[in-house]
């Protein structure tokens, strides 16, 4: 059975992953109401992915004989000044999530919970990918400068995400 300290930390992380889904859902809504339908689709896919991250932790907790606990989530911001600002906020958020995952790995090591340390490796790798994807998108925004036509093309490109 998993130790309480680790269980509590995993439950907190589950809330953070679902909180990421909340944030990206709010970004998707903001894009939609501003007619950036490609960005909206991309962000909604991201929100769904975050829900699946929460689900992974949920299942792991159950597997280890613990109880997944759903806590209240903070209301996310509702609107952003421009599409790029939302992606910048997303990168900032992912960096926080990365340090949160790193903290969990450190805790698993400290209490010698090898199973959880191994379980968390998937998240460590995933965070590298998450940060790099958003950094790549931001690099494209930078290349556009203030050219509106480019922004429409980027909106279309991101809208191709499944």
Please report, as ranges, the residues that interact with ligand OFO according to CB under 6 A: 17, 20, 50, 53, 94, 97, 126, 130
**Minimum gap (Å) between residue 117 Cβ and ligand OFO:** 18
Cβ closest to ligand OFO, residue 30 vs residue 94: 94
Q: Indicate the SS3 state at residue 66.
A: coil
Using CA atoms, how far residue 104 sits from 75, 95, 119, in Å, is 24, 14, 11
Residue at shortest CB range from ligand OFO: 20
**Minimum gap (Å) between residue 93 Cβ and ligand OFO:** 7
Cβ closest to ligand OFO, residue 17 vs residue 30: 17
- Nearest of 116, 157, 18, 9 to residue 74 by alpha carbon: 18
Q: Round to whole Å and give the CA distance between 137 and 115.
A: 35
Cβ closest to ligand OFO, residue 53 vs residue 84: 53
**Minimum gap (Å) between residue 75 Cβ and ligand OFO:** 17
**Minimum gap (Å) between residue 52 Cβ and ligand OFO:** 9
Cβ closest to ligand OFO, residue 52 vs residue 143: 52
**Minimum gap (Å) between residue 65 Cβ and ligand OFO:** 24
Q: CB-based contacts of 123: which residues, under 8 Å, 6+ apart?
A: 53, 101, 104
Cβ closest to ligand OFO, residue 25 vs residue 151: 25
Using CA atoms, how far residue 44 sits from 73, 81, 88, 145, 152, in Å, is 18, 19, 16, 25, 18
Q: Round to whole Å and give the CA distance between 62 and 69.
A: 11
HSE-CB for 48 with a 13 A CA cutoff: 8
């Amino acid at each position: 059975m998993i130790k309480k300290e680790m269980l509590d930390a995993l439950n907190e992380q589950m809330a953070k992953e679902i909180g990421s889904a909340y944030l990206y859902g709010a970004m998707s809504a903001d894009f939609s109401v501003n007619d950036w339908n490609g960005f909206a689709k991309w962000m909604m896919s991201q929100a769904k992915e975050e829900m699946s991250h929460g689900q992974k932790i949920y299942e792991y907790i159950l597997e280890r004989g613990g109880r997944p606990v759903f806590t209240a989530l903070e209301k996310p911001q509702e609107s952003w000044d421009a599409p790029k600002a939302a992606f910048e906020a997303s990168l900032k958020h992912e960096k926080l999530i990365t340090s949160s995952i790193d903290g969990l790995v450190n805790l698993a090591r400290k209490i010698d919970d090898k199973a959880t340390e191994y379980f968390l490796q998937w998240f460590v790798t995933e965070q590298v990918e998450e940060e790099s994807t958003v950094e790549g998108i931001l690099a494209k925004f930078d290349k556009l400068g203030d050219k509106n036509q480019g922004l429409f093309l980027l909106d279309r490109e991101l809208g191709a995400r499944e």
